[in-house]
Chains A and B, each alone.
Chain A
Amino acid sequence: MAEFNALTESVIKGDIKSAVAETQKALETGQDIQSIIDDGLIRAMDDVGERFSKGQIFVPQMLRSAKTMQECMKLIQPHFKEGDVKAKGKVVIGTVKGDLHDIGKNLVSMMLEGAGFTIIDLGVDVNPEAFVEKVKETEADIMGMSALLSTTMPAMRHTIDALKEAGIRDQVKVMIGGAPVTDDFAREIKADAYAPDAGSAVIQTKKLLGLS
């Protein structure tokens, strides 16, 4: 692990230039790809996530680290061989029908991406059918719904119903969030998880996929 300390440090600092250089170096010296990702990049992001949840750093710093990691991933990707890298999980996410708020959802997406998940973002005002179709098409592990209006919270229920009707409810875990949403509501509509903020969304996603 120690060999990735410089990489980890650069990602934590959000220093894209040196992180990319460190990644390049690791690739050139023939380091194991999975290890660069896990022990270099993800380790850095775990650290960043922890600092953020303790209030030691601010959102832009965390997102800068996520961006730094993504730049590094771009370098690594061409070196992927079949079966080389375990994909962490796919998340289809969107703001539910009738709702146009997206800042929270975008933040959740970026944090999940930073934690190594693949994000398929459907945008805002997404109707249940569109969610279902995308989940089917991508074989997503998680379907994430965001709602900021109490008037659009029922759409979360309708979307879960649509999953049932399509016969794929048990193939995907459902996570919900947004200011008026509560844990109780999540239980009521039988969602699998609720997250009050972006940091918790990452934790919940990992839990749902048995990664922590």
Chain B
Amino acid sequence: MRPIEIPTFQPRMKVLNREQALAIHTAALEILEKTGIKMEHPTVLEALAGEGCRVSGRDWVKIPAYLAEEALHSAPRQIALYDQQGNKSMPLTHENPFYGTGSDATFTFDMETGERRRSVLSDVANYARLVDGLENIAFCMSMANPVDVPVIEDIYLQVFAEMVKNTNKPIVFIADSGKDIARIYEIACLVAGGEELLQQKPFLLNYSEAISPLRFPQNVMERLIFCAEKKLPICLPSGSNAGGGSPVTLAGAMALGIAENLAGLVIHQLFGKGSPFLFGPNVSVLDMKSTVVSYGCPEWSLTQAALADMRDELYGLPIWAFAGASDAKVMDAQAGAESMFSIITAMLSRCNLIHDVGFLEYGSTSSLEMVTMANELVAMSRFFVGGIPVNDNTLALDAIERVASGEPGSIFLMDDHTFEHFMEAQFLPTLLDRSRYDSWEQSGALDMYGRCNKEAKKILATHQVNAKSDVVLEEIDRLLRR
């Protein structure tokens, strides 16, 4: 009889117990029922009233808890994002973490000069191509708010087209209103080969935001309705940052952010029952000295880990998260520390779609080198979370016996067991440098930033992105000119 296999425990972090999760959920429902939300879209307001919500004043509406519970039931528990060639590349089920970049950085670090400068459209292309070439960066966002777009109202359309031209990975995109999202959708249909194929194998997800506390603007609702009706995946994290958009205490900030998400979900499911909705608010902190909203604080990692627990205990919906970003102004030790902290904790708590990788300066500046470094930090974290498989082979008693009782000079390094297993038994870094001092010095004495800069340049110079067909590219350009 074969021995029973020992399952491998994969390191896992929990930060809330069931009682805490329930209490936050209950508080969120109470906010919806008793405080209500400000709904600035008349059609949505009407629809909510029709479902039994109480409307008071011009645009204030209170949402009964059962509507939230119903919406949680009808929303799909798994969202699969495909790459642009139709392969399922991001199954967002509860054990799967996927990392990607962020949107809209005002500035970027120029790869050639090292200078911090205003972002331009070609930066969007560079980030998209870098992401395409990095194994552990699963999806692409614009990473830039380019200063050189011809028509500023079309900025989100332009950056979307730029991403499509430069990567085949899934795209998380921003839009301004019901207008530009419809044009972005047209491009997406072109890429997927039609509306039906896009619905079957969506490669994009819209990132929209409600406004904490409890405000739902007209243009945001236009996007929400659009996505619900087209079955286009969407997330609606509000900025319920502790001390800024929400109470300073994390439980209250989460309750408020979740209430806003639940309200969004109720509306979303009203306009498209069963359409995909990625759950979760952004709960960082407003720093009480600098008054910036932090992208490197432990609080944001903590609240999203807590949300992952609530997902497991209650919601079942895949969640939105952040990691790999920093408040540091340049890619320094602080940037390394903060990005690793959020990357490993996001993985340990099994967050699903994890954005903002590569941001510096609390989201104002992007860095190709940061993204490149994160690629390796994600690999390192994956290795850690893989745990320690324990079986006959890994216990390696045979190898121990061989070496211990072998001839003089027999060492593990020479043993076949080592040769056969070292690749998966060890984490083999490429950018994190373990070389001896002399060889490090000989190879240019580059620090982590220098090595990432070199690697990013190499990828951008050599990585080939599978090009879209000429027909698709021409159609996109025609659409952009319209």
Verify A103–B286 contact, CB threshold 8 A: yes
What residues of chain A lie closer than 8 Å to B93, measured between beta carbons? none
Judged by a CB distance under 8 angstroms, whether B339 is at the interface is: no
Verify B145–A104 contact, CB threshold 8 A: no
Report A57 CB to chain B, min CB distance, Å: 9
Verify A60–B106 contact, CB threshold 8 A: no
Judged by a CB distance under 8 angstroms, whether B211 is at the interface is: yes
Verify A198–B291 contact, CB threshold 8 A: yes
Judged by a CB distance under 8 angstroms, whether B152 is at the interface is: yes
Range of interface residues on chain B? 10 to 19
Verify A58–B289 contact, CB threshold 8 A: yes
What residues of chain A lie closer than 8 Å to B291, measured between beta carbons? 59, 104, 107, 197-198
Inter-chain CA distance A197–B364, complex, in Å, is 15
What residues of chain B lie closer than 8 Å to A60, measured between beta carbons? 243, 248, 288
Chain A residue at smallest Cβ distance from B288? A58
Verify A151–B286 contact, CB threshold 8 A: no
Residues from 106 to 127 in A contacting B, C-beta threshold 8 Å: 107
Over the window 212-254 of chain B, the binary record of Cβ atoms lying under 8 Å from chain A Cβ atoms (1 yes, 0 no) is: 0000010000000000000000000000000111001000000
Judged by a CB distance under 8 angstroms, whether A100 is at the interface is: yes
Report A54 CB to chain B, min CB distance, Å: 10
From B217, B243, B248, B364, A100 is in contact (CB under 8 Å) with B217
Judged by a CB distance under 8 angstroms, whether B147 is at the interface is: yes
Query: Would A103 and B288 be within 8 Å (CB), given that A150-B145, A151-B145 are in contact?
Result: no
Judged by a CB distance under 8 angstroms, whether B155 is at the interface is: yes
Verify A154–B152 contact, CB threshold 8 A: yes
What residues of chain A lie closer than 8 Å to B364, measured between beta carbons? 179-180
Inter-chain CA distance A166–B363, complex, in Å, is 38
Inter-chain CA distance A59–B243, complex, in Å, is 10
| Listed residue (A58, A150, A151) with the most chain B CB atoms within 10 angstroms of its CB | A150
Report A183 CB to chain B, min CB distance, Å: 14
Verify B155–A151 contact, CB threshold 8 A: yes
Inter-chain CA distance A199–B211, complex, in Å, is 25
What residues of chain B lie closer than 8 Å to A197, measured between beta carbons? 290-291
What residues of chain A lie closer than 8 Å to B147, measured between beta carbons? 150
Residues from 77 to 100 in A contacting B, C-beta threshold 8 Å: 100
Query: Would A55 and B244 be within 8 Å (CB), given that A150-B145, A151-B155, A179-B364 are in contact?
Result: no
Query: Would A151 and B152 be within 8 Å (CB), given that A60-B288, A104-B291 are in contact?
Result: yes
Verify B289–A179 contact, CB threshold 8 A: no
Residues from 147 to 176 in B contacting A, C-beta threshold 8 Å: 147, 152-153, 155, 176
Chain B residue at smallest Cβ distance from A107? B291
Inter-chain CA distance A60–B217, complex, in Å, is 28
With A100-B217, A150-B106 already in contact, 14 other A-B pairs whose C-beta atoms are closer than 8 Å: A58-B289, A60-B243, A60-B248, A103-B245, A150-B147, A151-B145, A151-B153, A151-B176, A154-B152, A179-B106, A180-B145, A180-B364, A197-B290, A198-B291
What are 20 residue pairs bridging A and B, where the CB atoms are less than 8 Å apart in the complex? A55-B289, A60-B248, A100-B211, A100-B217, A103-B244, A104-B291, A149-B145, A150-B106, A150-B145, A151-B145, A151-B152, A151-B153, A151-B155, A151-B176, A154-B152, A179-B106, A180-B106, A180-B364, A197-B291, A198-B291
Q: Which residues of A contact B (CB under 8 A)?
A: 55, 58-60, 100, 103-104, 107, 149-151, 154, 179-180, 197-198
